[in-house]
Amino acid sequence: MTAHPRGIAARAVAALAACLLATALLPASAAQAAPDFTTNEAGNPFADGWYADPDIAVYNNTYWVFPTTSKGYSEQTYLDAFASTDLVTWTRYPNVLTKANVSWASYAMWAPAPVQRNGKYYLYFAANDIQNNASLGGIGVAMANQPQGPYSDALGRPLIGQFYNGAQPIDQDVFIDDDGQAYIYYGGWGHANVAKLNADMTSLGTFSDGSTFKEITPSGYVEGSQMFKRNGKYYLMWSEGGWTGPDYSVSYAMSTSPTGPFTKLDKVLAQDPAVAKGSGHNSVVNVPGTDIWYIFYHRRPLAETDGNHRQLAYDRMYFNADGTIPRIRMGVKDNFADGNALGWKTYGGTWSVSGGRYLAGSSLGGKALLDTNFGDFTYDADVSVTSGSGDAGLLFRTSAPAVGTDSYHGYYAGISPTGRVVLGRAANNWTQLASTALTVAVGTTYHLRVTAVGTSIKVYVDDMATPKINTTDATYASGGDGVRVFNAAAAFDNVSVGPAVGAGVNLALNRPATGTTACAASEGPEKAVNGTVTGGNSDKFCSAVSAAWLRVDLGSTQSISRFEVAHAQAGGEAAALNTKAFTISVSNDGTTWTQAVNVTANTAATTVHPVTVSGRYVRLNIGTPTQTTDVATRIYELRVFG
């Protein structure tokens, strides 16, 4: 699988050794600002081509990513690497390790794990996908004198070539603790092991009880071990689900020891049907000298059905005050600072990236689209009409795109130097929905925002408080996002698509939710933020635990104007089951809470609570769950409005 963030002391040694011994292919200034992003703001994927299982290390102020080549087993005979000094622009180094330099490897070279020690660079890898102990293969280790290789087999045989504790020898991760002890974590087939590495990094040590391998398998584990340490706590991450399926995901556990025990705490990364599927097999990096962390992983574009069509991505990873990890939302941004338009697909027109902008030549309907599928959202971008008297703007809820002026199904909002902002929809023909006067100068950049929630569509230009267009249309519910020109050339920049924001927007909709133990698996906390109370008697969060609670992560600190709670009767149950007593609190860090609402004698089906508060986390605490002696809490929706 992957590997990374070593202990602080080990990182310092590695950085010093790298500085003295490594060839600085991509020199970076020590004074260069630390990359501080909310996601890959230059756009995911960050590398061209099909790759998976990325692992990342920092050598001499340069970030090195080593992935699996995502092809058929017989074609997985080499490993590439990617390097960056700023997490924005990346240089590819092909064939850093090939089967020609590993006498026992034939195919299925997987999940390289990098580490630096003893003046050498080590790359741990799996090969041959062995199915039993009679087969040759397993986990090997290669060495090189520089990060980009070439790497050569250090042993002439696998380091781990047998099944122990049921763990297939694949998906290795290497971690060096602050005391200098190195560990290797690995395992497929639903079993995870840890072993000690000796100081030579090419042989295995033993634990105090004389054993070489300790099983540390947490609940739900499938493959892809990843270990890192932060503030004295050890984090084990792993992948769950099937690697070709949409359910592939990442979960984690915490411990005070590098050997566990590890008890699953939560799933932190999973598919988002608006962004990508099959998100998993991760690694983690800490920006040196900061508490900025990123998760690197692979994912499959929504339109792809080939299991090997996986791409490399990264997103910001945050921590709560108690060290736990909030669920990670895959961001959709592109400021084109990396000089490319990876992830965009064009339909007509001429397109290029220059000067950190996406440039469209004049055409009658040239389009460029991301492979997204947003329903309710806010879409921001900077738009400049650089020549022509036509218009340029944003496509949203788009499907069936093709070359042609109106060859798509979806909506378009654009600005024109003729003095207007226009909104319309297309279905291989054009229907204007609204237009309003607006002074637009050629060569001037304007900030466009579209917020669509249900049938409501609002279009903003520069002034984000008052929409230029505010209308409704129910024709299209979801689809891709992109940009378009008509009889004009244009430049686009700072593209961002995410959850809807603004007045009247339910900030809790489909956000990560946790709570006390549910009455049934089908009545978990997620049902209270799914935006509906019409799904029948199970379309609710139900918990029979005393002092039940429900917590929602809004993703970032938000200004909140009101809460709404839909109780049992709102979902069709008896009024006697409406929540009687409850409080609502907010928090910026998930630890320190401020009470905003206190209700002691409710009987209503839906309660509305105007407030003036802010917070990232919202927690509903139940005092008295019903009007009767029934002990089960029933919350059909918890809504939070900005």
Alpha carbon 56 to its chain centroid, in Å, reads 16
* Cα end-to-end span (Å), the chain: 41
CA distances from 60 to 97, 143, 217 (A): 21, 18, 34
Residue 20 CB partners (closer than 8 Å, separation 6+): none
Residues acting as catalytic residues: 53, 223
Tokens 């309003």 correspond to what residue?
436
For residue 100, which phi and psi values (nearest 5 degrees)?
-65, -25
Contact at 8 Å (CB) between 427 and 441?
A: no
From CA 62, how far away is CA 24, in angstroms rounded? 9
Query: How many CA atoms are closer than 13 Å to the CA of 271, on its beta-carbon side?
Result: 19
Q: Which residues pair with 277 in a beta bridge?
A: 300
Q: Give which of 395, 387, 338 is closest to 366, Cα–Cα.
A: 395
Q: Which residues pair with 484 in a beta bridge?
A: 367, 393
From CA 293, how far away is CA 176, in angstroms rounded? 18
Q: Which two tokens stand for residue 109?
A: 């070279």
Contact at 8 Å (CB) between 551 and 514?
A: yes
For residue 571, which phi and psi values (nearest 5 degrees)?
-100, 10
Query: How many CA atoms are closer than 13 Å to the CA of 351, on its beta-carbon side?
Result: 22
CA distances from 620 to 55, 538, 549, 609 (A): 39, 19, 6, 12
Residues 455-493 as b or e (16 or more Cβ within 10 Å = b):
ebbbbbbeeeeebbbeeebeebebbbbbbbbbebbbbbb
Contact at 8 Å (CB) between 587 and 616?
A: yes
User: Cis ω on the peptide bond leading into residue 610 (within 30° of 0)?
Assistant: no
Q: Give which of 593, 580, 589 is closest to 619, Cα–Cα.
A: 593
Instruction: Report, in this order, helix, strand and coil percent for the chain, each rounded to 5.
Output: 5, 50, 45
